[in-house]
Amino acid sequence: MAERVRLVFDHDGVATITLLHPPLNIYDLEMRDGLIEAITAVRDVPDVRCVVLAAEGKHFSAGADLSEFGTAESIFEARQIRWDRDPWLPLVNLPVPTLCALHGYALGSGLEMSLLCDLRIASTDAILGLPEVKLGMLPAAGGTQSLTAAIGPTAVLPLVLSGRSIDAVEAQRLGIVCEVVPPDDLEGRTVELASELARINPLTARALRRCLRAANDLPLEHGLATERRWASLVAAGADA
């Protein structure tokens, strides 16, 4: 696995993917490849029941490494090249609950990768934002879609259009993160929450995630049909 990423499996069914490019954990091509490899490995291990995304160093991730755009004629062309190696859909499509632990800077691609997880927990020192608009860019590592799905278009517009950053307390108020804890408690609380998620019956967890996503993606009639279908599947699985 690339040196930018570490993958650890524990006996409770929790797989932890850790970013290893401190202090800023800048998201570069090596980290992208490492994430793809780690997510693929997690997907192929049937005993995994929860995935944690975390980072070493002072900051979770300050975003993409713009220096890698190199000799491309524009940052837009360079970004298109990077999309060819995309870890985002593999992360979204993992069949188990995903949890992200944020601290320090979680900006640009750093925040966007966390938004593709089911839940986010943050330390009080976390600073979150999508500053791409200040560079004439879109937060196109899923940011416009995932943040809107999390907190709705009314709350998203002021953040994305201004590119401003917010602290962890405001992020919790908006619904971007589910919990805020002191920095010294982040690791321990993440372990506790991951263990809780891992104890959920895998079929039930999968069904709940599908139904909740349907609430965002489908008209109410189709969402209700999805809920009924998955409820039947879970009942049949429990009987079996």
| 161 Ramachandran zone, left/alpha/beta (phi>0; psi -120 to 50) | alpha
The count of C-alpha atoms lying within 13 angstroms of the C-alpha of 221, restricted to the half-sphere facing its C-beta, is 0
List helix spans (H) across 44-108. 75-83, 88-92
Q: Are 64 and 27 in contact (CB under 8 A)?
A: yes
Measured between alpha carbons, how far is 116 from 73 in angstroms, rounded to an integer? 30
Cite the active site residues: 112, 132
Phi, psi of 143 (to 5 degrees): -60, -45
Measured between alpha carbons, how far is 102 from 120 in angstroms, rounded to an integer? 7
Q: Are 230 and 207 in contact (CB under 8 A)?
A: yes
One-letter identity of residue 141: A
- Report which of 227, 209, 196 is spatially closest to residue 50, judged by C-alpha positions: 196
List helix spans (H) across 108-217. 109-115, 143-151, 153-162, 168-174, 186-198, 202-217
